[in-house]
């Protein structure tokens, strides 16, 4: 056997082994997930700050408010269907042991005149003020003139008395009426369906602790025919 034949015999097994070797598998391609770009946000335009009123504009607005208040009050004062109370009595009077004539329930009768009934408690219990009227009527509204409107929120109940002496509650709860800063008085007005009975008296109940302070009522109107 010549040299070339020997070499061939030696290399043959090596060639077979090399042919049986697998090529290394290629690594899988990386999957790239595209991240959506954040949506562009449009900033809302900043609200323009309200322009400050000039002194002249403030003065004009104040006069408009005063005129509106005066118009409202004039309507009440000249209402042909309204009458003022003629008698009054109350649960308490300021200075009960020696009540002052400046705080008696009788001061809440007649037209408003800055003479008031004042109760005797600032923040305890309930008080009531009862007003009688000369002409019983089928009523649709009652109006109380609160001398200092701060305590109007203490109003808790409105009752009407018929000619047989029976009381009817037409409103009870927390007062939604607030102090009227347009004028020197606050009108506490309650409107209701026309009563089937004739009304001869009105009673207001006051929750003293709802609006602490002495309660002052100047006058009361009964509206009806």
| Residue 66 lies inside a defined structural domain of this protein | no
Q: Are 215 and 90 in contact (CB under 8 A)?
A: no
| Residue 99 lies inside a defined structural domain of this protein | yes
pTM: 0.75
| Residue 26 lies inside a defined structural domain of this protein | no
The domain spanning residue 210 has which CATH number?
A: 2.60.120.260
Residue 198 to residue 158: CA distance in whole angstroms: 16
| Residue 12 lies inside a defined structural domain of this protein | no
* Listed residue (102, 124, 122) closest to 113, CA to CA: 102
| Residue 145 lies inside a defined structural domain of this protein | yes
Position 63 scores a pLDDT of 93
Query: Residues 113-138: what's their mean pLDDT?
Result: 97
Q: Are 110 and 219 in contact (CB under 8 A)?
A: yes
Q: What pLDDT digit, counting tens, does each position of 185-208 carry?
A: 999 999 999 999 999 999 999 999
| Residue 20 lies inside a defined structural domain of this protein | no
Tell me the three state secondary structure of residue 37: coil
| Residue 10 lies inside a defined structural domain of this protein | no
**Max CA distance (Å), the chain:** 155
Number of domains in the chain: 1
C-alpha pair distances (Å), 55 with each of 48, 61, 62, 182, 192: 21, 10, 11, 18, 42
pLDDT over 80 (residue 47) = no
Position 100 scores a pLDDT of 84
| Residue 196 lies inside a defined structural domain of this protein | yes
Domain of 170 in residue numbering reads as: 81-224
Question: ∠ at Cα 189 (215, 154), nearest 5°?
Answer: 30
């Amino acid at each position: 056997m010549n040299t070339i034949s020997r070499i061939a015999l030696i290399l043959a097994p090596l060639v077979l082994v090399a042919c049986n070797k697998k090529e290394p598998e290629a690594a899988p391609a990386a999957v790239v997930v595209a991240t959506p770009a954040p949506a562009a946000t449009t900033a809302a335009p900043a609200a323009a700050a309200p322009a400050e009123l000039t002194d002249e504009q403030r003065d004009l607005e104040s006069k408009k408010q005063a005129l509106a208040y005066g118009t409202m009050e004039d309507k009440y004062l000249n209402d042909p269907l309204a009458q003022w109370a003629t008698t009054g009595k109350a649960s308490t009077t300021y200075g009960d042991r020696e009540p002052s004539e400046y705080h008696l329930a009788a001061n809440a009768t007649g037209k408003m005149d800055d003479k008031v009934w004042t109760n005797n408690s600032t923040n305890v219990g309930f008080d009531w003020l009862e007003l009688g009227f000369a002409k019983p009527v089928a009523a649709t509204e009652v109006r109380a003139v609160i001398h200092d409107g701060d305590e109007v929120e203490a109003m808790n109940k409105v009752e009407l008395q018929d000619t047989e002496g029976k009381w009817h509650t037409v409103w009870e709860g927390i007062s939604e009426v607030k102090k009227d800063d347009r004028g020197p008085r606050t009108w506490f007005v309650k409107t209701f369906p026309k009563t089937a009975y004739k009304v001869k008296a009105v009673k207001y109940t006051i929750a003293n602790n709802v609006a602490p302070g002495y309660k002052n009522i100047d006058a009361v109107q009964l509206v009806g025919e």
